[in-house]
Structure 1
């Protein structure tokens, strides 16, 4: 006699129908379930249920068997739960990524965690940078790859990458004929700007334009890469985006390097200063293995109050 036979019997007894038990609870075929019940009766050595106009009814032997079957399954479930409680616990580590950065950083991060800590259950969140920062502050995330957000004294930011800006434009745009584009050449173009959900990137772009004597008011502002690509293609406008955006360009959109000194925006690993997570501490101790920024590099001027912490 197997546990599945007990489960089948209980399901049919409670539903009062082989067909309903098969469809609603056991997700098996009615003929197969009938055979399993016949095998159970053969092993018990007596008839446990009979068909009636009202459906399946238990015999006196069936009613007695039902009580013990329920007790047996309850004891099995209790044994399973006790074993799980006594076994090694699984630690959850919540990791966030600025939307689009998963392509470059998720594999690297997971390798650090899973090589030495195979029992970690890692949960992944993909969001705009401000929402990731808020998740860190609230304790919903343990660490996140994001921009260094202002006015977040609870958080520490470690630079892991510097992403140079690229100019994004339609593939058949006249400016695409050159390998490099002088930023002043976009003065009369439709310009796709960034919304406040990308504050660090927006400030970098605006500062770069101002440093080059350009006072450009965006025709549109976008929250994410998908919106940027769509508007560049549909309006035949141009945008300044970090180099990681090149991995997501559709055929109708292309990118070019900027002539002269190219500005960049930092991607950081952020975490809550007060966190006591041993997994986070382990992760921080190895972050230099995947970082593309020399250890100890200071953050951009506008976020200068947040200096990188040596893990």
Structure 2
């Protein structure tokens, strides 16, 4: 039995579908995935799945196996992360990951805080979706991650900002003429929703709309701000995104504040408490400087 068998099993169990697991999670062919699962069941000596009209379901043996499979994968990932950390206990490099788009806002403040260390370290910068940034911190691939607060047990967070959420729409949209926009004016099927990737943002927006009795029926879904802006520009729909995207909007797309108390979403600096990096220690000791510098900087202007 190999770790890949466990990864395949967990993916199918969580998706409830061989097709979805193969295409979205594992990027492999379904026949190959089916063979791997049959091999796993043969080695375990028990049937783990049953096929239904809606996909696949775990048997009693499968449910018992799932908890241990998840634990084994978690421990394997922890072993790799521990080895990587041990191999570079006094790093000459410092890696920072950003939720895509946030580097525009935060990188200059990070380098300001670390200006005395920059001559001594190799600063590495990357960007990705928020869950992937948090996963990279948890694995030890990066030292510091600017993201949403993602559910990663190994990652500690320091909230550094709370961003208001704005309406993003085309400049020629009728609602663009309003100084503020009431979400009850949204056309339900013209609202651009959210995939599973920006799940924190999706949760904030769904609660906000629910609390105001607003029901939407999206036909398009964004997985990041760039996709969202492109969908707004191409479909004429509207969506809700954090204010940090405003300086990144093309001339054909504008932002408008929501009526009343707009929802906010947190930006946090994530790190592992067991990371021995002296640069990380210095940053955390001076993180209040970063928060103050960003607060003092003038915010982005709305178009």
CA contact (8 A) 1:113 1:120 kept: no
Q: SS where residue 241 of structure 2 aligns?
A: strand
Contact 1:161–1:268 (8 Å) recurs in 2: yes
2:226 & 2:155 partners in 1: Cα distance?
29
**Greater C-alpha radius of gyration:** 1
Partner of residue 153, structure 2 = 153
State the match for 1:39 in structure 2: none
Match of 2:218 in 1: 218
Alpha-carbon contact 1:183-1:258 (below 8 Å) kept = yes
1:204 aligned residue = 204
CA RMSD of aligned residues (A): 1.8
Asked if structure 2 preserves the Cα contact closer than 8 Å seen for 1:187 and 1:214, the reply is no
TM-score, with structure 1 as normaliser = 0.63
Q: How far has the Cα of 1:189 moved from its partner?
A: 5.4
Find the aligned partners of 2:128 and 2:212 in 1 and give their Cα distance.
Answer: 32
- Residues 1:173 and 1:292: Cα distance change in structure 2 (over 3 Å): farther
Counterpart of 1:176 in structure 2 is: 176
Kept after mapping to 2: 8 A contact 1:168/1:253: yes
Partner secondary structure for residue 172 of structure 1: coil
Q: Counterparts in 2 of 1:265-280, with a 5 A limit?
A: 265-280=265-280
Shift of 1:114: 2.2
- TM-superposed deviation, 1:292: 5.6
How far is 1:233 from its partner? 1.3
Gaps of 5+ in 2: 1-89, 294-303
Q: Secondary structure at 1:114's aligned position in 2?
A: coil
**1:121 paired residue number:** 122
Give 3-state SS (helix, strand or coil) of 2:198's partner.
helix
**Deviations 1:208-249, CA, capped at 9 Å, x for gaps:** 010111121221111122211111111110000000110111
The match for 1:137 is: 138
Deviation digits for residues 56-113 of structure 1, max 9, x if unmatched?
A: xxxxxxxxxxxxxxxxxxxxxxxxxxxxxxxxx9710011111000111001101111
CA displacement at 1:175 relative to structure 2: 0.4
Q: Which runs of 5+ in 1 are unaligned?
A: 1-88, 294-311
**Equivalent pair of 1:190/1:219 in contact (CA under 8 Å):** yes
- 1: distance between equivalents of 2:188 and 2:142? 43
Q: CA deviation at 1:187?
A: 4.1
CA distance in 2, matches of 1:283, 1:120: 13
Is the contact made by 1:161 and 1:292 (CA closer than 8 Å) also made in structure 2?
Answer: no
Contact 1:90 1:121 survives alignment (8 Å): no
TM-superposed deviation, 1:269: 0.2
For 2:207, what is the secondary structure of its paired residue? helix
Q: Which residue of 1 aligns with 2:194?
A: 194
Query: Whole-Å Cα distance in 1 between the matches of residues 179 and 213 of structure 2?
Result: 23
What is the CA–CA distance in structure 2 between the aligned matches of 1:218 and 1:131, rounded to whole Å? Answer: 25
- 1:247-266 aligned at under 5 Å gives the runs 247-266=247-266
Paired position in structure 2 for 1:228: 228
Normalization by structure 2: what TM-score?
0.65
CA distance in 1, matches of 2:241, 2:262: 12
1:33 corresponding residue in structure 2 = none
Q: Is the 8 A contact 1:182 1:259 kept in 2?
A: yes
Aligned length: 205
Q: SS in structure 2 opposite 1:274?
A: coil
Deviation at 1:153, TM superposition (A): 1.3
